Amino acid sequence: MHIIMLDSDTDFEGWRKAARRLALNDVKPSDVTWTVRGEAELFSPSGANDLPDAPHATFNVPATFVELARAAILHQSGERFALLYRLLWRLRGHHDLADDPDIAKANAMARAVYREMDRMIAQVRFREIGREKAHYVAWFEPEHHIVELAAPFFASRFSDMPWSILTPDVCAHWDGHAISITSGIDKSEVPSEDRLEETWRRHYSSLFNPARLKVTEAPQAYWRNLPEDSIIRPLLEDAMRMTSGAFIASKAAKPQAPQKPQDTPMARKHAHDTIATLRAEAADCRACPLWKDATQTVFGQGPQSATLMLVGEQPGDKEDLAGKPFVGPAGLMLDRALEEAGIGRTKVYITNAVKHFKFVPRGKIRLHQKPSTPEIRACRQWYERELAAIKPELVVALGATAAQGVLGKITPINKNRGRLIDHDGTKVLVTVHPSYLLRLPDEEAKAKEYQRFVDDLKIAASLLRRAAHAA
Ligand code: URA
């Protein structure tokens, strides 16, 4: 029997290394026991590291399995490591897993993890503590091991306030520069009332609309995490009195279906566009004067089936010559960040808000110039038609020009980054442009901002994973 001890409940890399070595050494799933450090000091582990390296043997598993395992491993079930190893074992034998009951279980686990992420994002409320230096603290009781997965989202969303999310399992902290993880705490150690609390309660009562409350989706067990929990019951009772208790079914406001990109007039008019036909059409674009000095139109690139669309500012010198977006220094940085966020560049459609290079010549150099609002507007038709052809799950706008092109108005990046924006039925995230990172003079600031950029892309990756699982 091999007893594998993982470093923590979320030690995906540890599981992956051990599982690979076990499988390469033909160790059957029934001969492995998985434990987590601190949980089973009773056993003395005989790790997969004791096994030979099996350097010549190899096998590949589909990227979709890796994604699935990465999410399912965060489930609270003690069975998850063994279940995923069983699946890996069968995959290695080239079994078709479509009807495998373990696949159904792993999928259900991954879905539960993503649902719990959604709940955490919706329910975490920070309270201000600290007299001299403000610190924001939230208490949350997650059902699965999602705190480390969710922390980059909160770091990006609340980047300018130091916060801690405390849970019984682990705690995540943000000091304005980096995330750190410490062990969990008991609820009795959490600060209770504060200045923010009252403000939040007032805000909640002014927003409260009984017609929109779906009691069945908000089990009472969850209310205990919310500052408004002490007022939900009285607000509900008031509403019940006013409506003779019949409000939930009869007064429910019919939510307006969000307009999907494929329903827009633009999408209907250009229903037969493909990226190839659009690229050919855009090659002769004369909608603004930028075409005169540029070498060529640099149209978007990537599969039409992409679920993620990245929008940059405009092609630079290298892109203008190559006819492809993001092939210069900013592109290299983007590639690295995408890889770190777990997003394959070849699966992404990458384009620019403005499709011609704008520059002024300085000797042998062509100096990049920021596109003007009329130039961004003139080019927007191409973005809209690309959007309608691709119908991505998510658009990520890189920098202010991209955000203006995508959202049709000037949108400050720092105030909006990391926040999911619904723009006419399209989900949009904004973040900084990789060239901004290249321009930062101070290495420390550069490393910090680069990490924030990767964290924003991780939010995109996690939204896409959730969308894929929901589908
Ligand atoms: N910067 C952009 O915004 N787009 C490119 O294609 C290259 C650099």
Question: What DSSP string describes 189-255?
Answer: GS----HHHHHHHHHHHHH--GGG--GGGS-HHHHTTSTTHHHHHHHHHHHHHHHTT-HHHHS---P
Residue 19 has pLDDT above 90, yes or no: yes
Q: What is the predicted pLDDT for the residue at 294?
A: 97
Mean pLDDT, the chain, whole residue set: 82
Residue 282 or residue 65, greater confidence? 282
Residue 343 to residue 335: CA distance in whole angstroms: 9
Residue 41's pLDDT is 53
Token code pair at residue 217: 């989706």
The residue length of the chain stands at: 471
Percentage of the residues of the chain whose pLDDT score is greater than 90: 52
Characterize 318-328 residue by residue with b for buried, 16 or more Cβ atoms within 10 angstroms of its Cβ, and e for exposed.
ebbbbbbbbbb
> In this structure, what token pair is assigned to residue 443?
């290495």
Give the model's pLDDT for residue 267: 66
Higher pLDDT among residues 370 and 249, named by residue:
370
Task: Give the model's pLDDT for residue 125.
Answer: 87
Highest mean pLDDT among 116-130, 175-189, 425-439: 425-439
Q: What are phi and psi of 245, to 5 degrees?
A: 75, 5
Q: Whole-angstrom Cα distance, residue 100 to residue 222?
A: 33
The candidate with the shortest Cα–Cα distance to 88, out of 109, 75, 70, is: 70
Half-sphere exposure at residue 355, Cβ-oriented, CA atoms within 13 angstroms: 29
Ligand 1 centre to CA of 64 (Å) is 30
Answer yes or no: is pLDDT of 2 > 80.
Answer: yes
Nearest C-alpha neighbor of 308 from the set 285, 330, 289, 334: 334
Contact 29, 1 (CB under 8 A): no
Distance CA 114, CA 142 (A): 12
Question: Lowest-confidence range among 64-68, 305-309, 346-350, 364-368?
Answer: 64-68
pLDDT band at 49 (very low <50, low <70, confident <90, very high): low
Q: Which residues contact 465 (CB under 8 A, 6 or more apart)?
A: 67, 71, 114
Ligand 1 pocket member 299 (CB < 6 A): no
Lowest mean pLDDT among 16-20, 56-60, 339-343: 56-60
The answer, yes or no, to whether residue 338 has pLDDT greater than 80, is yes
Judge whether residue 108 has pLDDT over 60: yes
Cβ 301 under 6 angstroms from ligand 1: no
Q: Quote the CA–CA distance of 313 and 354 in Å, as a whole number.
A: 6
Give the pLDDT confidence of 200-259 residue by residue, as tens digits. 555 455 445 555 444 444 444 444 555 555 555 554 554 444 433 322 222 223 334 444
Is there an atom of ligand 1 within 6 Å of 319 CB? yes
- DSSP secondary structure letters along 249-305: HHS---PPPPPPGGGSHHHHHTTT--HHHHHHHHTT--SSGGGGTSSS----BS-TT
pLDDT at 219: 42
Query: Which residue segments constitute the domains of the chain, with CATH numbers given?
Result: 2-117 (no CATH), 125-189 (no CATH), 197-242 (no CATH), 261-470 (3.40.470.10)
300 Cα: distance to centroid of ligand 1 (angstroms): 11
Which range has the worst mean pLDDT, 9-23, 247-261, 299-313? 247-261
pLDDT of residue 405: 97
> Is residue 92 very low, low, confident or very high in pLDDT (cuts 50, 70, 90)?
confident
If we measure between CA atoms, which residue out of 74, 12, 70, 24 comes closest to residue 49? Answer: 24
Question: Measured at the alpha carbon of residue 287, what is the angle toward residues 282 and 292, in degrees to the nearest 5?
Answer: 85
Ligand 1 centroid – CA 317 distance (Å): 9
Region 369-391: mean pLDDT is 95
**How remote is the CA of residue 420 from the centroid of ligand 1, in Å?**
23
pLDDT higher than threshold 80 for residue 392: yes
* pTM for the full predicted model: 0.56
Whether 411 lines ligand 1, by a CB cut-off of 6 Å, is no
Q: Which comes out higher in pLDDT, residue 339 or 232?
A: 339
pLDDT at 46 over 80: no
Q: Which atom of ligand 1 is nearest to the CA of 402?
A: 3
Pick 408 or 123 by higher pLDDT.
408
Strand partners for 174: 163, 179
Is residue 131 very low, low, confident or very high in pLDDT (cuts 50, 70, 90)? low
Contact status, residue 436 vs residue 446, Cβ threshold 8 Å: no
d(CA 90, CA 64): 15
Confidence at residue 251, expressed as pLDDT on a 0 to 100 scale? 27
Instruction: Say if ligand 1 is within 6 A of residue 314 CB.
Output: yes
Residue scoring higher pLDDT (102 or 122) = 102
Number of Cβ within 10 Å of residue 380's Cβ equals 17
* Distance in Å from the first CA to the final CA of the chain: 39
The predicted-structure confidence for 254-290, as pLDDT tens digits, reads as follows: 334 444 455 666 666 777 889 999 999 999 999 999 9
Report the 10 Å Cβ neighbour count for 244: 8
